[in-house]
Amino acid sequence: YAAALENGVDPCEYISNEKVVFEDYNNWSPRNADEEYGGEYSMEGALTRSVNIVSVNLLMKIGARKVLEFAQKTGIREQLPPVPSLALGTAELSLLELVSSYATLANRGIYHAPQLILRIEDRNGRILMHAPVAESGEQACSQETADMITYMLKGVVNRGTAAGLRSRYGLTQDIAGKTGTTQLQADGWFIGMTPRLVAGGWGGGGEPGRGFPV
């Protein structure tokens, strides 16, 4: 979705939710989790509700290569497959890469390489090692794109697939984020952003179909 914004897709544009078969990719056909099809969704509406068909159609609209380029700029280092199902999470990524990429959006489009260790102290509090101050970072995408996708991700928490953070857990602070589930529920993800913190959570099993009920 962010790559689409960065490549000129209007955030108010409506994208088809009609079922489609990709003949060039072994007649693969994506499905929605609720098995409801037809009509159109805005980008914000589809992202809020995790509408698979729209996500795939949006990827194909701008081209998988542009999505891959955008992902790499924002911190994804794993080689991603340039196929339609990329939009539904078929690539294998680490939690660190995902959090790093979302942090780029939270930083208004500026990428900073993650630092695992900031400093090391001995038991007396003497600093043995202090990591160098992070550089200014690289502008991976425009501020406008980062701000717009962050606004859309707030909708996921306020009224979409992550609304349980509000209704069930009573979190009232400013939160943006995205849920995700891979094939046969082998993985369940949530990456959340507040104005000062980005965090990610994963749960699942080692094999497809041996994950957890969603």
Identify the residue with better confidence: 143 or 186. Answer: 143
pLDDT tier, 201 (very low <50, low <70, confident <90, very high otherwise)? very high
What are the pLDDT digits (tens) for 79-125? Answer: 999 999 999 988 888 899 999 999 999 999 999 998 889 999 999 99
DSSP string, 73-99: HTT--SPPP-SGGGGGT-S---HHHHH
Which residues, other chains included, contact 24 with Cβ-Cβ below 8 Å and sequence gap of 6+?
none
Residue 158: pLDDT band (50, 70, 90) is: very high
**Would you state the pLDDT for residue 206?**
61
CA 186 – CA 188 distance, rounded (Å): 7
Q: Tell me what pLDDT residue 92 has.
A: 83
Nearby residues of 153 by Cβ (< 8 Å), 6 or more positions away: 47, 105, 176, 177, 178, 193
CA nearest neighbour of 112 among 5, 15, 198: 198
| Residue pLDDT, tens place only, 10-25 | 999 999 999 999 999 9
In degrees, to the nearest 5, what angle opens at C-alpha 120 toward C-alphas 117 and 123?
A: 145
What DSSP designation does 170 have?
-
Q: Please tell me which residue, 207 or 145, carries the higher pLDDT value.
A: 145
